[in-house]
Structure 1
Amino acid sequence: MVNCYCGALERFENCCKPYILGDLKAPTAVALMRSRYTAFATHNADYLMATTHFSTRKHHNRADILDWATSNQWIKLLVLSATANTVHFKAFYLDSEGNSQLHQEHSIFKLEDGNWFYVDGDLY
């Protein structure tokens, strides 16, 4: 059995894929963040744009997101802490030159009409 890209001990088909395909709504900010990490790993820029809050979507460009997602090899996700609407995580990846990199962020999410959205984050 191959676990989901997000690090959960479930298969991708039973974990993040239903959120990415729109079959299910992410029930928590953590679930949305995990599915967004998986969207980077699977190069799904449309999902990343769709799950970015409208108030900050203008600061994100689909082409740039897709370029960053595809130019890196996503290795591992660690959720360090979470509240109802924030997630502090580390995402490990290899850049386009094969160098190990770390993206550490404290992300803010917002629940609107039963849908979670990524608003913004502070980098460490």
Structure 2
Amino acid sequence: MLHDHKDTTLTCPCGSNKPFAFCCEPAIEGHKPSRTAEALMRSRYTAFSLGAVDYIINSTAEEHRNPEDAELITEQVQATTWTGLKILKTEAGKADDLNGIVEFVARFETAEEQGELHERSNFRQQDGHWLYVDGEVEIRS
């Protein structure tokens, strides 16, 4: 199982209301790629909430990866509890598209604050796998 500190028999953290094992886990574990840009975005949210740092890095477009990503993401996932995800809008990003946009709000808590991350994310499909490219991010406290 991916993470012993979480009960992954419960509903998937991404808000789909599906069991984790039938939702984001296959993508995060590398068994089955996400079929759409939204599915990748949901699995990345779940990976942030569970601390699956390798998946977060591997699902990012190579040109946007940095050598220090693992350390920075590890610090972030240890300091942040993700408390909810709401998809606001999707543009393209279906299984047969090459690009897609997903706009969402992710709620979070840290020791210092509670807030929301509002992002309009860009995704592309490459070799049958969706990748996160970049996004416009706004943090609201």
Under a length normalisation based on structure 2, what TM-score does the superposition of the two structures give?
0.83
- What is the DSSP-based 3-state SS (H/G/I as helix, E as strand, rest coil) of the residue aligned with 1:35? helix
**Which residue identity is paired with 1:100?**
Q
Aligned residue among 105, 113, 116 for 2:119 = 105
Decide which of 9, 31, 54 is 1:46's aligned counterpart: 54
SS in 2 for 1:83: strand
Please identify the structure whose Cα radius of gyration is greater: 2
Deviation at 1:60, TM superposition (A): 6.3
Offset, 1:58: 2.5
The ranges of structure 1 where at least 4 consecutive aligned residues each deviate by more than 6 angstroms after the TM superposition are none
Tell me the distance in 1 between the aligned counterparts of 2:134 and 2:74: 18
Instruction: Identify if the C-alpha distance between structure 1 residues 58 and 25 changes in structure 2 by more than 3 Å, giving closer, same or farther.
Output: same
Q: Percent identity?
A: 36
1:49–1:60: 8 Å Cα contact kept in structure 2? Answer: no
- Structure 1, 82-91 or 56-65: larger mean CA deviation: 56-65
> Hey, what's the Cα distance between the residues in 2 that align with 1:31 and 1:96?
29
Q: What residue in structure 2 maps to residue 122 of structure 1?
A: 136
After superposition, give the CA deviation of every residue in 1:58-113 in whole Å (9 maximum; x if it has no partner).
Answer: 2861110111112111100000001121100000010133x211111000001001
Task: Count the aligned residue pairs.
Answer: 123
Q: Distance in 1 between matches of 2:121 and 2:68?
A: 15
Instruction: Please list every run of 5 or more consecutive structure 1 residues that lacks an aligned counterpart in the other structure.
Output: none
